[in-house]
Amino acid sequence: MSLSQTGSYSHTYNEVTYRRQRIKLGLTRTHISEFYVMTYVS
């Protein structure tokens, strides 16, 4: 495997990991805000 291939692969991997973290954070935030709404409404 050449150096450029390794570089692009790791870049793609970082991109995927970053997106997964963003999605996780987004889901967590939505869940927390929903929890607050539920508590305040009830």
pLDDT digits (tens, 9 = 90+) for 5-28: 777 888 888 899 989 988 888 878
Whether 3 has a pLDDT exceeding 70, the answer reads: no
Range 26-33 average pLDDT: 80
Q: What is the DSSP string of 1-42?
A: --HHHHHHHHHHHHHHHHHHHHHHHHHHHHHHHHHHHHHHH-
> Domain of 12?
1-41
Per-residue model confidence (pLDDT) at position 1: 57
**Is pLDDT larger for residue 1 or for residue 39?**
39
Stated pTM of the model:
0.47
Written as one letter, the residue type at 21 is Q
Q: In whole angstroms, what is the distance from residue 42 CA to residue 34 CA?
A: 12
Tell me, what's the pLDDT at 42?
Answer: 61
Between the alpha carbon of residue 35 and those of residues 1, 24, 27, 28, 40, the distances in Å are 49, 16, 12, 10, 9
Give residue 34's pLDDT.
82
Work out how many domains the chain is built from and give that number: 1
